[in-house]
Structure 1
Amino acid sequence: MKTRLLWWLACLGQRMSIAQIDRAGDGLGRLFWLVLRSRRRLATKAIQEHLGLGEAESKALAYESFQQNCRSFLELLYVPKLDKAFLEERCTINRPDIIAAISKLERPIVLVSGHIGAWEFCSTIVREILGITRVTGIARKPKSEAMHVVMMRLRERPCISVIPHRNAARQVLRRLKNNEAAGFVVDHNTSSRESIFLPFLGEVAAVNKGPAILAVGAKALVLPLFLFREPGGRYRIHVEDPLDTTTIPGDREQQVQAVTEFYNEAVERQVRQHPEQWFWMHKRWKTKPDAETEPDSQATSMAE
C-alpha cells in the first residue's frame, strides 16, 4: 500500500518541468529549514567549523544548502525524462578533452562523485556524454522498503542498473572486468571497518575504501565526475584527470590507500568550490577512528 501511494505521488511529480522542480525544491528546502531544527544547527555548525566562516554567513550558506539539496532529491523525479538532447542544450563541460579521451577507451571505469550539485543526473551523463553502454550505480538502501522500491524504479533505465551496496562487491567487480562502468557517491559517513580515516575539510572522516578496492581489483580508471547547477537553469559537467590504477606503485594495500585519498581529495576540492551545493546536514564526521558508530542510512548512488 505504501509503495503504491509513493509511486502514485512520484508519477504526479514526474509531470513537473525542471523549472518547476527547482521552485518546488526551494520551497521544500525552506520548509525543512523551519522543521528540521537539529539538522539546521548541525549544518550551520559544520560550516562554521570546516570553512571557518562566521555564524551569520554560515547560517545563510546552510539555508541555501537546504534548498539546493531538496532540489537534488526532487530531481530524481526528472531522471526518467533525461536524454542527450536535454544535456546538450543545458550543459557545458569543463574538460571536453577528458570526455573525448575516455569515450574512446575500452577500460573499466570507476566513477566517483559526492552529494553535491545535481548528483541524481550523473549516471545519465555517463551514458549519454561518455557513451558508456552499461553503468551500474551502487546505492545505500533507505530504511523504508517502499521508498527503496520507488527510488529504484526511478533510477533504473535501459543500460543503467542500481544495486544495494550490501554484498555488491562480486557483482560490481565482474561488471568492471567486462569493461563496464560503476558509479559511487563517496562522501557519506560509513563504518570504521569499511573505511580509511583521512582528513576531509580539516577533520578526520571515515572514507569508504570499497570503491578503491574494486578499482584496484579491476585495474580500472578512477574518474571524478560532478554536475553543478548554474544560473538560468543550466548545468556544468565537471570532470578531473582520471587516475589509472595500473600506474600506482606499491602493494595492494598501498594502492587502495592511494585511490581512496585521490577521490576523497577530489570531493573536498569541489565542496570548497561549491559549498552551497553540498549536503551539510549529513553527519559526515560521525564515525571516529577510536569507536565504531552506526552510519546514517542515507541512500547514495551515482545512478541518481
Structure 2
Amino acid sequence: MSSVVAKTEPSPAPTFSHRLEYAATRTAVAVLRLLGWRAASAVGGVLGRLAYRPFGIRAGVVERQIAAAFPEFTADKVREYAARSYESLGRTSIETAILPGTSREEILARVERVEGWEHIDAALAKGKGLIAVTGHLGNWELGGAYVAARGVGIDAVVRGAANKLFEAYVTRTRSEAGVHVVHDKDAVRRAPRALRENRMVALVADHDALGLASTFVPFFGRPAKTPRGPAVFALRFDAPTVFIAIVRQPSGRYAFLVEPVTVTPTGDRDADVDAIVLRYTQMLEAKVREYPEQYFWQHRRWRRQPPDTPPHLREP
C-alpha cells in the first residue's frame, strides 16, 4: 500500500451567516421532530407553498420550466403544478431533516409499494456491485435510507456545500440512516472500492456542475447537460445499473420503483457512455411526466447547453 497521502485544501472557516443558518436549522429540526413525521411533513408543505406565494422564490424559473416541459398546460395549470412542486419540495426537505433517529422499521413503513426490487437482488448476486441512478424527484434522500434499511450497503455520491457546518450535519443525517457519503471529488477513487465490495453506488444524475464530466442529451426535448459518471462506472467496471425513483403517494407514504438500465458495450466507449446517459435521462423524464409536481423545478435544468442550440430549444 502506498504511503503517499494526497494533500487537500483546508476548508474555509464558517462565516457568521453560516453559523446562523446552521443554528436556525438545528433549532427548527428539534421543534419539528416533536410533531412527528406526518405533521412535520405537512408543515413543510405549507412552508414550501409560502416560498412560492407570496415570497416568489425562483417562481419565474419554476413556471417557465414547467411550461416548457408541458406546453399543453394552460397558464393556470402551470401555476397549479408550480405551487404543488414547492409543496413537495417543502415536504421532502422537512422529512429529510427529521430523518436522523428514525428506526429501521419506521423507514421501511414509509414505503407502501415496491416495484422492481428483484433487479437489485439479481444485480448484487453477480458480485460486481451496482450502479443506481436517480434524479431530484420525490424524496431521493429517503430512497437511500430505505435501501440501507433493506440491508444493502450503499454509497451515495454527493456534492459539497458552501456551508461546511450544514454539510457536516447533512452527512451525519445520511450516515445515521446507513448511507455512506462519498464526495464527488473522491468518487473516482472510492466508488470502485465500493463496487468491489458488492455495494450499491448511488448517484443523482440530473444536475450539471462546472468541472463535472457531462454530456448533452434531450430532457423534455431540450439539450440538457447531464453527468456521465454513472455510465462511465457501469462500463469501466461492468457493473449492473438500475434507475430508481421514490415518489410520494396520496397516502403520504411512498412508492419505491426500480428499472434496469440497459448497458450494451459496442467498443466505442464515448458513444456507449452517451447512450447510457440518454437511457437513464429518458427514464427520469418518464417518471417526471407521471409525477410532475414532485420534480425539483427550482433548479435551472437547461442552464448550460451547446452553443449551437436552436433558439426555440434554449433555456426557457
Q: Aligned with 1:136: secondary structure?
A: strand
CA RMSD of aligned residues (A): 2.3
User: CA offset at residue 175 of structure 1?
Assistant: 1.6
Over 3 Å counting, the alpha-carbon distance change for 1:289 and 1:29 in structure 2 is same
Alignment of 1:242-257 (within 5 A): 242-243=261-262, 245=263, 247-257=264-274
Query: Partner residue of 1:55?
Result: 75
Query: Partner residue of 2:94?
Result: 74
Question: What CA distance in whole angstroms lies between the structure 2 residues aligned with 1:16 and 1:38?
Answer: 26
- Unaligned regions of 5+ residues in structure 2, if any? 1-18, 309-316
Question: What CA distance in whole angstroms lies between the structure 2 residues aligned with 1:255 and 1:135?
Answer: 25
Query: Partner residue of 2:313?
Result: none
Question: What CA distance in whole angstroms lies between the structure 1 residues aligned with 2:123 and 2:104?
Answer: 20
TM-score by length of 1: 0.86
For the Cα contact (< 8 Å) 2:51–2:86, is it kept in 1? yes
Query: Partner residue of 1:274?
Result: 291
Question: What CA distance in whole angstroms lies between the structure 2 residues aligned with 1:72 and 1:22?
Answer: 7
The amino acid of 1:69's aligned partner reads L
Query: Partner residue of 2:147?
Result: 126
Query: Partner residue of 1:297?
Result: none
The amino acid of 1:270's aligned partner reads K
Query: Partner residue of 1:264?
Result: 281
Count how many residue pairs are aligned between Structure 1 and Structure 2. 287
Question: What CA distance in whole angstroms lies between the structure 1 residues aligned with 2:28 and 2:165?
Answer: 12
The amino acid of 2:179's aligned partner reads I
Is 1:191 the counterpart of 2:207 in the alignment? Answer: no
Query: Partner residue of 2:254?
Result: 235
Question: What CA distance in whole angstroms lies between the structure 2 residues aligned with 1:42 and 1:255?
Answer: 33
The amino acid of 1:289's aligned partner reads P
The amino acid of 1:42's aligned partner reads V
Is 1:18 the counterpart of 2:37 in the alignment? Answer: yes
Q: Percent identity?
A: 25
TM-score by length of 2: 0.83
For the Cα contact (< 8 Å) 1:46–1:280, is it kept in 2? yes
Question: What CA distance in whole angstroms lies between the structure 1 residues aligned with 2:277 and 2:103?
Answer: 31
Deviates more, 1:149-158 or 1:200-209: 149-158
Deviates more, 1:31-40 or 1:66-75: 31-40
- Unaligned regions of 5+ residues in structure 1, if any? 292-304
Query: Partner residue of 1:284?
Result: 301
User: CA offset at residue 111 of structure 1?
Assistant: 0.7
User: CA offset at residue 37 of structure 1?
Assistant: 2.5
For the Cα contact (< 8 Å) 1:6–1:150, is it kept in 2? no
For the Cα contact (< 8 Å) 1:192–1:206, is it kept in 2? no
User: CA offset at residue 240 of structure 1?
Assistant: 1.0
Over 3 Å counting, the alpha-carbon distance change for 1:210 and 1:31 in structure 2 is same
Higher relative contact order (CA 8 A, sep 6+): 1
